[in-house]
Amino acid sequence: MRNLDKKFLRKALRQKRRSLSIAEQEQTARAIAQTVRNQDAFTVGEHVALYMAADGEVSTLTLLDDLIQQGKSCYLPVLQEETTTLQFRQYLPDSPLVTNIYGLLEPDTDATVIEPRQLDNVFLPLVGFDDQGNRLGMGKGYYDRSFAFIRKESAEKPVLIGLAHESQKVEDLEASDWDVPLGGIITGQHMYLTG
């Protein structure tokens, strides 16, 4: 798929997820948290990264609360503009969050930092996906650069798991050489294991 095609697809899929009602958004978030709670296809490790939803992305607040109650250490991505990578800082329920240049919430600089290699699981947002686990992101490449070592070294962890609405599924996405593979994708209706 050419860059121009991806640009139009990205725009259409973002509009589609933004058009979901609050009830549909909440239903998907609850269903995904339930899937993770009851899953046996993968093990949720001790160090787990999530994200704060924006632009119609699946909310992780229910999942985040569940994982913290289970005693997991949870982290949120922080954009590193100078390297166009992500740093992961620990999230605690009373952690102050700050707004970055894109309007996304992140832990402030006092939060504990973990290296991407030390994470066990990463639940990440996506714009689109297909059955093969190909992911269409926002096009900035932050996740791909931050986890490039998985592809280069065939590292087994962290396991990257995309969260999406079922309506974000498309027939076929062409993977680029730099795309980091997902271990799975969870929607409100299905769990697609790809790794």
Question: Which uninterrupted H or E stretch holds 4?
Answer: helix 3-18
Give first-to-last CA distance, the chain, whole Å.
22
pTM: 0.90
Encoding tokens for residue 20?
Answer: 């979901």
pLDDT band at 1 (very low <50, low <70, confident <90, very high): very low
pLDDT of residue 33: 93
Quick one: 20 exposed, middle or buried, by C-beta within 10 A (0-12, 13-18, 19+)? Answer: middle
Domain borders along the chain are 3-193
Residue 34's nearest CA partner among 58, 55, 51 is 58
What residue has token string 């800082």? 89
| pLDDT for 27 beyond 80 | yes
Q: 128: which strand partners?
A: 136
Superfamily of domain 3-193: NagB/RpiA/CoA transferase-like (3.40.50.10420)
- Mutual angle of helices 22-38 and 61-69, in 10-degree steps: 30
- CB-neighbour burial class of residue 101 (10 A; exposed 0-12, middle 13-18, buried 19+): exposed
Using one digit for the tens of pLDDT, what is the confidence trace for 82-125?
Answer: 888 999 999 999 888 999 888 889 999 899 999 999 999 999 99
